[in-house]
Amino acid sequence: MSNASNPFGQVLVAMVTPFTADGEVDWPGVEKLIDELITGGADGIVVSGTTGETSTLTDPEKIRLVEVGKEVAAGRAKIITGGGSNETAHAMQLARQSEKAGADGNLVVTPYYNKPTQAGILTHFRMIADATDLPVILYDIPGRTGVPIKYETILRLSKHPNILGVKDAKGDFSEVSRVLNQTDLLYFSGDDANVLPHLAIGASGLIGVTANVAPGPYRVIVDAVNAGDLATATAAHKSLEPLVRAIMTHVPGTVAAKYILHGLGRIGSPRVRLPLVGPEEWEAAEIENEIDLVQGIPGLDLRNFRPDRNAAAGGALPRVAGTTR
């Protein structure tokens, strides 16, 4: 699928939000990372998504991330906001503010903790989609939200003119095929380990965490699949496997991605905000053991990987708290 038929792009990075050691947003670090990711092959950047620690960002920080993203991207990539909330009115407000700030799209997660019925989920997404002209990607991740977006609900939502895509972190490949057959929705893999399988059955692209560290191989996989070159796509998939395991299996992906990016000198601090904390000694050791297995990823030189367990320890309490109005 060409990017001409996909307004979001195909290789989207769920970007971490670089913080200073005391937990404030490192704005120069944000600019540097966005530029690196776009140069490395990303078509789009999701700011203030789950990986960006949206739960502990304030609304002004979320809006500023969109503004900075647009400034740095300068038309080279799309900037998509992670505009979800478990309060519909708040999500609608964030959508309007993000649109005004220049966002190119809105990634909206299923309401979490409330555990609404499918009727509530349907109404929630429709009202957010109605609130602006931003194209919406539904984010289906029941492992975090407690409830799935059921197939029948996805079909009904697909009829909304502003709802254009789904980020799938449910892992039900038969349902992916079913939705692709029955709708025109764009499907994005939301599971780093399953990017190639998703693309192989017709997904439009990916929204990835591991791509913070290595966007290049995902560019290779997408381009190879589009060209019908399964061998090249499979080789890139295999080279990514230990890196995906390092980032996605021992601690939350945000924590591991920041730990590795800092160890590579690409962000100034591995700090995360509480209740997230840096890896404990044994978790850090597991991440480092996986990194030792990574080979043959173009543009990723791990010879200078210098992890700092002390810098990563604990979590920060920022000066300004809260994400609601």
In a 13 Å sphere around the CA of 126, the CA atoms on its Cβ side amount to 14
- Which of 103, 76, 75, 109 has its CA nearest to residue 91? 109
Mean pLDDT for each 10-residue chunk of the chain (325 residues)? 79 98 97 98 97 96 98 98 95 98 98 96 98 98 95 98 96 94 97 97 97 98 98 98 98 98 98 98 98 94 95 94 65
Q: Is 167 a catalytic residue?
A: yes
Residue 88 is predicted with a pLDDT of: 97
Catalytic residue among 62, 70, 78, 139: 139
- Helix, strand, or coil here: 261? helix
The whole-angstrom separation of Cα 296 and Cα 61 is 37
Nearest Cα to Cα of residue 308 among 254, 282, 273, 269: 269
Closest CA to 164 of 193, 186, 192, 134: 186
The pLDDT of residue 171 is 87
| Amino acid in position 274 | L
Question: Which of 75, 80, 10, 81 has the alpha carbon at shortest distance from 41?
Answer: 10
pLDDT at 323: 64
In the annotation, is 115 catalytic? Answer: no
Check residue 316 and report its DSSP letter.
B
In CATH, the number for domain 3-228 is 3.20.20.70
pLDDT at 321: 81
Whole-number pLDDT of residue 297: 95
Give start and end residues of each alpha helix (H) in 41-163. 59-73, 88-101, 118-131, 142-145, 151-157
Q: Is residue 51 annotated as involved in ligand binding?
A: yes
What distance in Å separates the CA atoms of residue 70 and residue 233, rounded to the nearest whole number?
Answer: 30
Predicted pLDDT of residue 127: 98
On whether 207 is known to bind a ligand per the annotation, the reply is yes
Please spell the DSSP secondary structure of 145-173, one letter per residue: HSS---HHHHHHHTTSTTEEEEEE-S--H
Exactly one of 70, 167, 218, 258 is catalytic; name it.
167
3-state DSSP call for residue 174?
Answer: helix
pLDDT at position 5 is 80
Locate the domains of the chain by residue range: 3-228
